[in-house]
Amino acid sequence: MKFTCLSKGGNFYFPPCHIITVSGFRILLDCPLDLSSLMIFSPIPTHAFSTPELPTPDSVDPKRQKHERPIDSNELIRAQPWFKTVTSLHLWNVPFIDVVLISSPMGMLGLPFFSRVNGFRAKIYVTEVTARIGQLMMEDLVLMNREFRQFYGCEESGLPQWMNWEKLDLLPSLFREIVLGEDGAELGGWMPLYSADDVKGCMQKVHTLKYAQEVCYNGTLIIEAVSSGLEIGTCNWTINGPKRNIACLSSSIFNSSHAMNFDYHALQGNDLIIYSDLSSPVLEDVKDNSYYSAPTSQNSSTLSADNDQEASAELLLSTSESLEEMEKLNFICSCIIDSVKAGGSVLIPIGRLGIILQLLELISLSLEASSLKVPIFIISSVAEELLAFTNIIPEWLCKQRQEKLFSGEPFFAHAQLIKEKKLHVFPAVHSPNLLKIWQEPCIVFSPHWSLRLGPVVHLLRRWRGDENSLLIMEEGVDAGLALLPFKPMAMKVLQCSFLSGIKLQKVQPLLKILQPKFVLFPEDLRQLVSYSDTNSPAFFYYCENETLRVPSLKNSSELEIAADSVSLIHCRRLTEESLGIGRLKGEFSVTHGKHQLRSGSEQADSSQSRPPLLHWGSLDLERLLAVLEKMGIRGSVEQGNSNTDSENAGVVHVYEPNKALIEVRENSTIISASNESLSSLIFEAVDGILSGL
Amino acid sequence: MAIECLVLGAGQEVGKSCAVVTINGKRIMFDCGMHMGYLDHRRFPDFSLISKSSDFNTAIDCIVITHFHLDHVGALPYFTEVCGYSGPIYMTYPTKALSPLMLEDYRKVMVDRRGEQELFSNDDIMKCMKKVIAVDLKQTVQVDKDLQIRAYYAGHVLGAAMFYAKVGDAAMVYTGDYNMTPDRHLGAAQIDRLQLDLLITESTYATTVRDSKYAREREFLKAVHKCVADGGKVLIPTFALGRAQELCILLDNYWERMNLKVPIYFSAGLTIQANMYYKMLISWTNQRVKETYATHNAFDFKNVRSFDRSLINAPGPCVLFATPGMISGGFSLEVFKLWAPSEMNLVTLPGYCLAGTIGHKLTTGKPTKIDLDKDIQISVRCQIHQLSFSPHTDAKGIMDLVKFLSPKHVILVHGEKPKMASLKGKIESDLGIQCYYPANNDTVCIPSTCWLKADASKAFFRSSLNPNFKFVKTISEDKSNLVSKETEATSVLQVHDERVAEGILIVERSKKAKVVHQNELLLMIGKDKHDVQFAYCCPVQIGNLERTKGMDFALSKNVVSTSDECSWLHLLFAKLSTKLGGNIQDFGQHLQVDSIHISICLKDICPYRTTNGPQKESAVFFCCTWSVADVNLAWEIISIMENLDLSII
């Protein structure tokens, strides 16, 4: 098996991307987009024509730009944004990919770029819910991007202006790094966004699955999605091949308060675990938030890396994590209430469905508790469908929400909120009905978290000067860059991080329970997870763009033989070794990952009478003569003289009933007879003396 | 290994479905239903046959319930709470959500209305349902290390499933009730092609083949429309779940299309609550209904309101869905009493009515008066319309499913004995599959597949997967082509690829069996190969050659040059290939067919020249060797060669 990490991703929104080769099949794990790189573009200017692009005094001297200095909002690229895909994936021949496994909606956003390639023939497996949510997210992206197209007009063919080397050279170093990567290789990963048709085409190629639904690829690989707990519908994949069982462990959450929990039991018993949960907060640079005067950074951080060695399964399932998450949400909620009480509006551009759903419930409760009548808006082209969708998928939710089904209540409160006119859902800011009922202060959920696309841009411009208003952002997003075009900001900013994977101290106990033989582990986490156990699995550490080869465990694979129907001929017992051998014949098939041998067609019968094909042992001439004599065949022995042959050949001349010759060497015998019947009689005699099969 | 199937209910009858199947030591109970026709001990399956000591937890590994109808789930609270079974119970999400409604409704009717002693309490139902593990379709559930179950969509009612169970190599499917054609709100049953030892299928309509439902739907709508247009009231007595929603979708759509404003009412709160469940479980309906969830959930009926008792006597037309079905009592009876005397009104009876109910009386005869009890008599002047919608598959559907799954054995349950007998005959004669239809409390035992597991080597797999092409030229005369008068014989090259897996099985005491390729065997057992070959030096006539002019290359017979050698070989090749077809190959120095090797023999005395054939002057000798695999072909070639004259071209 071969494994290549194409990208270790960045955060929740940009999951890792790997490619593995199993049993000769190439499997792509996730196909994400790096949407945080959108931040180098300017959002659609409000007064585009009144603020012409004047050269700033600095840009006259490009050399001076290399120095570190705060980037000016004028330096944002004013063009229709391009999107950054996983660059290394372009180095692979797309038609050679056999299977694509998608573990989350975020891991799907880059897929239309590849599924539209001529010759793309891979089977794409996605859970039903991820497919639906992923499709909505892609459609939303296309719609939001359309705003740019309307503004900048149709794109020129070829590379856009900003991609010229001269222009790239003028970019601030931070931007250059985002565009080019460390060695300039990543420029090739930029592409203009796919179209709605590409999305449709992509979805037509998708095969949707339920959790724990077995699907068999090419008769050989059995692929199964098991819940990962990260979001509704996200999954970890297991791949069972004839030689090994692989579990692909993506970002997972043990205790979710909306999605079905991480089903780690289903990953037990796999030989190999590809650990690709890179969500660990240690990976991210801890941003200095003091500049944004976020009063809460200590409350909302997940940095609690006390490494408990004695952790056990109980630790894995402890609810402390979810309690902590709940606390965070409650805190956010209290900040929101404070803001609206002060007359400010709240803007929440977070892209996590689960967080949005929970916040909606909490906010409405808090508003009720403090008897505030503040409307909540969700402005997004896909919100209506997304919300409706979450109330019809009980099979994908956590236990507590499923219980609501059995007691006949809706799983999430938003349906009721909409009915009570506390929550209003609109596709866009310019929706006519929105203006009719718009009132401030209000609470608005709206994409996109990069603050470059979607309704959030307009609302942020509206409220950025209001010091009572509040913007809720996620940590891990470069806030400085994200807010650049909206400066100066009087608006408060709350940055918070949410649990988006397995905490480091849980890695070891988890692996102890899963008991794999091999673990593919990110090099970055090597130092952080020490494994000192004696019966620990073999660790292989991977980095981006390095191919690892994982040794095979067994040489042979299991064959299932239909005991009742396969023909078994020439059974022999080798007495000296208490060994039984027999020749096996049947029809071979590979179905559902199993090699099976069952009775073939009619020919099985005819082969029963077939003589043995393989002989071993040595032929004693005297004994041969005696056996021949019994059959009525007479002959005489002539011991060969070794001058002609290096081997000592003994020859039996047969004269009765007909002329024949048997040439016997140590490891071979040649029978030459004048007719068929005599020849077969002699063979019978020879066969009787030698051992054969 | 064997599979044992004990039929505790629905054997040669409809009602109290319950089958206990033992596969490779694992025991599964499929369905745990009650019989609605009996009120004595016969209403429940005879659980004592499962375990004499009533220790059901060790006797049964799990219970699987296919859908929420009482003849499939009715005895479950009794079995868990009264009999004490506490092991795992599996059902789909909708079944888990809707079963308690059905059970509680039934319990209420039994206790509150008929005043019977209750068999299980509301508390029992709740406790029982708590033990249920909900499963999704196609989700593979590992019950324990060896037992695997999986649900497949069955149509029939919301959440109905067929269940697949597998232990070791043995596998089976229990269908429960299913429908092979989609209806207004549900899809058709759907299952993978599985390798099965046993299929247990329902056979309610074992001999009926139904026509399309659309005609009956139209008739129903016409009748309802006519009645309300004339200002009449329509009463549809129905059970809360399933039929009510299907008819409601039908009516709601029709109302929309025809722009009707006549109110449609739902009687009890139960049905409104049921609609709530249907809304949340919309992904279990059919594709068409499912797609509506975002914009307008199909179970958000636009024209449907809930009914108030005061509306019974309100003037004007309306449509009312009232529970229970069959007018067996309760609210539907109450309304019936008031509406039946008017000929303007209509009573529509969807589905089957049990004997003894008013519904049954209405559909069997045309009564003008119905005696409710000694004192009360209702005069019936309203119109009666019977709707024969059935969510069961018909005979064709059963045959289709059996044919599709091609199990080794079929057991029929949930049907009437004579019809089952005829279906059994059909399955055995048409499909060649063994079929049984045991009576209640009978056991059927069938053998199950057993696979011998062995470790096979790479070489074996490689040789098994190697293409084994055979090229056969067949001369076929195109008889159908009458236009062309030339009877042109077209030679068709047929390519066969019959892969035969051949290997050697090695069984060593107390070790896993191995399968190797024959080339690996000797190495494994540490023996030296002994080659056994056949040889024959075959003379071929060239007798007439001297007389042939222009063939001077063979004149000096004693000096045979290499080029001559090749010429003879080529000549032989040409001759043999016309007789043998394309299998023979010319390698320049020798010819070869499989293991048969033919080359010119230049020796004066060849040890393999055993015949006293023609003189050397008039013949060329070809030394042939072969191994035992090709004995027959070799002798065939030799006989061809001996009768050949190479000089005749």
Give residue-wise pLDDT tens across range A9-52.
888 999 999 999 998 899 999 999 999 999 999 998 765 444 44
The question of ipTM being above 0.90 is answered as no
Cα separation, B10 vs B232, whole angstroms: 41
For B222, the enclosing helix (H) or strand (E) is helix B214-229
> Is the CB of A563 inside 8 Å of chain B's CB atoms?
yes
For the record, the structure tokens of B465 come out as 């997967």
B320 close to B235: Cβ distance less than 8 angstroms: yes
Query: In sequence order, which ranges of A61-195 are alpha helices (DSSP H)?
Result: 62-65, 111-115, 128-152, 165-170, 173-180
Answer yes or no: is pLDDT of B482 > 50. no
Dihedral pair phi/psi, residue B70, rounded to 5°: -65, -30
Answer yes or no: is pLDDT of B211 > 60. yes
Angle at which helix B518-525 crosses helix B458-465, to 10 degrees, equals 160
Residue A12 Cα, gap to closest chain B Cα (Å): 27
Cα separation, A311 vs B92, whole angstroms: 36
Residue B599: beta bridge partners? B623
- Report A:241-260 residues touching B (Cβ under 8 A): none
> Is the CB of B108 inside 8 Å of chain A's CB atoms?
no
Q: For all residues of chain A together, what is the average pLDDT? A: 83
Lowest mean pLDDT among A165-174, A301-310, B181-190, B269-278: A301-310
- Taking residue B313's Cβ as centre, other Cβ atoms within 10 Å add up to 8
User: CA dist A339 to A367, A417, A472, A498, Å?
Assistant: 12, 21, 11, 21
> Is the CB of B458 inside 8 Å of chain A's CB atoms?
yes
Residue count of chain B: 649
- Pick from A173-187, A365-379, B447-461 the range whose average pLDDT is largest: A365-379
Q: Which residue of A385, A393, A670 is in closest CB contact with B294? A: A385
Question: What are the chain A neighbours of B289 within 8 Å (beta carbons)?
Answer: none
B285 close to B187: Cβ distance less than 8 angstroms: yes
pLDDT digits (tens, 9 = 90+) for B590-639: 888 888 888 888 877 787 876 665 555 677 888 888 888 888 888 888 88
- Classify the C-alpha dihedral A672-A673-A677-A678 as positive or negative: negative
pLDDT digits (tens, 9 = 90+) for B585-596: 888 788 888 888
pLDDT digits (tens, 9 = 90+) for A499-527: 888 888 888 889 888 989 999 999 888 87
| pLDDT value for A309 | 37
Nearest to A40 by CA among A591, A463, A484: A484
Answer yes or no: is pLDDT of B338 > 80. yes
B636 labelled catalytic = no
Cα separation, B229 vs B232, whole angstroms: 7
B621 close to B606: Cβ distance less than 8 angstroms: yes
| pLDDT value for A601 | 54
Residue A578 Cα, gap to closest chain B Cα (Å): 7
A445 close to A455: Cβ distance less than 8 angstroms: no
- pTM (2 d.p.): 0.84
> Is the CB of A690 inside 8 Å of chain B's CB atoms?
yes
- Taking residue A134's Cβ as centre, other Cβ atoms within 10 Å add up to 25
Between A541 and B480, the higher pLDDT residue: A541
Q: For all residues of chain B together, what is the average pLDDT? A: 83
Closest residue on chain A to B192 (Cα):
A215
> Is the CB of B2 inside 8 Å of chain A's CB atoms?
no
Cα separation, B289 vs B155, whole angstroms: 14
Q: Please identify which of the residues B202, B217, B246, B520 carries the catalytic annotation.
A: B202
Alpha-carbon torsion angle B347, B350, B354, B360, nearest 10: 30
Residues 6+ apart with CB under 8 A from B497: B467, B468, B469, B470
Answer yes or no: is pLDDT of A609 > 80. no
- Pick from B220-234, B303-317, B530-544, B603-617 the range whose average pLDDT is largest: B220-234
| pLDDT value for A59 | 43
| pLDDT value for B558 | 43
In B478-628 the beta strands, taken as DSSP E runs, fall at 489-497, 501-508, 513-516, 531-541, 585-586, 591-593, 596-600, 619-627
| pLDDT value for A230 | 94
A458 close to A391: Cβ distance less than 8 angstroms: no
Answer yes or no: is pLDDT of A113 > 60. yes
| pLDDT value for A674 | 81
Identify the band that residue A655 occupies on the pLDDT scale cut at 50, 70 and 90.
confident
| pLDDT value for B270 | 60
- Report B:275-304 residues touching A (Cβ under 8 A): 276-277, 279-283, 293-294, 297
- Taking residue A673's Cβ as centre, other Cβ atoms within 10 Å add up to 24
B489 close to B477: Cβ distance less than 8 angstroms: yes
